[in-house]
Amino acid sequence: MELAERLKWLRQRHGLSQRELAKRAGVNNSLISQIEQEAVNPSVATLKRVLDGFPISMGEFFSLERAPLRPVFFRGEELVSMNSGEVQMWLVGPLHGRRLALQRECYPPGADTGPEMLSNEAEEAGLVLSGEIEVTVGGQRCLLRAGDGYYFDTRQPHRFRNLGSESCELVSAATPPTF
């Protein structure tokens, strides 16, 4: 990949306009445009100054591999279904290389995560969107309704149960992912 193409790719990858990169680097925004259009071949000192706007070293810049951009947006039908028994779960985003798991969960009346308490190495938070769910964490138990939320260390034994007569839908996040 040529210098101009590499700079444009890196700038776009960081979500920067030419003007924003120029401002960060302390150069004129027309210089960024000229470099990207191959109208100017910058000196080493000028290129270093531009790269300081990211910041990235020249060695890193020239050794960058052009990896495909990871998807950012996911339609409902693209969510990964992770249904288990009566509980339905849909994972947002890629399965690999993640540091956070975000899920949409649905518990029909009578559904639960099982008679055994769960436990793993993460932190989890959630927000009930509709219905109600009984959440047990360690020795604490609470009935959460739409608008209520939770946050706990998942090393504590925990369980989710829908004791109500309508489905419960919630959104949860865990870091690091536990699956």
Give the whole-angstrom CA distance, residue 90 versus residue 105. Answer: 7
Grade residue 95 by pLDDT with cuts at 50, 70 and 90: confident
**Rg for the chain, CA atoms, rounded:** 24
Task: Give the chain's largest Cα–Cα span.
Answer: 70
pLDDT for res 66: 63
Query: Within the chain, where are the H helices?
Result: 3-13, 18-25, 29-36, 44-51, 58-63
Mean pLDDT on 109-131: 95
The share of the chain scoring above pLDDT 90, in percent, equals 67
Give the whole-angstrom CA distance, residue 170 versus residue 89. Answer: 10
**Cα pseudo-dihedral 125, 91, 79, 74, rounded to 10:** 50
Question: What's the pTM?
Answer: 0.64
Grade residue 94 by pLDDT with cuts at 50, 70 and 90: confident
The residue whose two tokens read 């290389």 is 97
**DSSP at 27:** S
Is it the case that residue 70 has pLDDT exceeding 80? no
Residues in Cβ contact with 95 at an 8 Å cutoff, skipping those fewer than 6 apart? 80
Nearest to 108 by CA among 84, 124, 125: 84
pLDDT for res 1: 56
Grade residue 62 by pLDDT with cuts at 50, 70 and 90: confident
Both tokens assigned to 33: 């445009």
Mean pLDDT on 123-135: 98
Mean pLDDT on 138-143: 96
Greater confidence (55 vs 119) lies with: 119
The residue whose two tokens read 């100054």 is 49
Mean pLDDT on 77-102: 88
Give the whole-angstrom CA distance, residue 19 versus residue 23. Answer: 6
Could you tell me the domains of the chain?
3-63 (1.10.260.40), 76-175 (2.60.120.10)
Say if CB 120 and CB 154 are below 8 A apart: yes
